[in-house]
């Protein structure tokens, strides 16, 4: 993935309101305190975070499916 301004500059940035920001921070803090990144607790918190982000960007089911399938593919290559 390219990280120069030509590509990053095209990414939409949504700024959450204070309430959503607090929820995101709470989940991120929770995730960082979980030692076992493969535990059910970690997966549960990670999925909660994803749902908030998907809602923040108003993603539909098809867009979410594309993201999740792409991440699975990338992660399986990384762990393989």
* Dist. CA 31–CA 39, nearest whole Å: 11
What's the pLDDT tens digit per position in 30-65? 999 999 999 999 999 999 999 999 999 999 999 999
Three-class SS state of 1: coil
7 against 62, higher pLDDT: 62
Q: What is the pTM of this model?
A: 0.78
Mean of the per-residue pLDDT values of the chain: 90
Tokens 């990384």 -> residue: 78
Confidence of residue 28 (pLDDT cuts 50, 70, 90): very high
């Amino acid at each position: 993935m390219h990280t120069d301004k030509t590509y990053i500059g095209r990414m939409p940035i949504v700024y959450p309101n204070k309430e959503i920001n607090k929820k995101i921070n709470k989940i991120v803090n929770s995730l960082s305190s979980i030692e076992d990144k493969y535990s059910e607790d970690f997966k549960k918190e990670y999925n909660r975070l994803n749902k908030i982000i998907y809602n923040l960007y108003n993603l539909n089911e098809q867009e979410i499916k594309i993201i999740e399938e792409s991440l699975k593919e990338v992660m399986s290559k990384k762990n393989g």
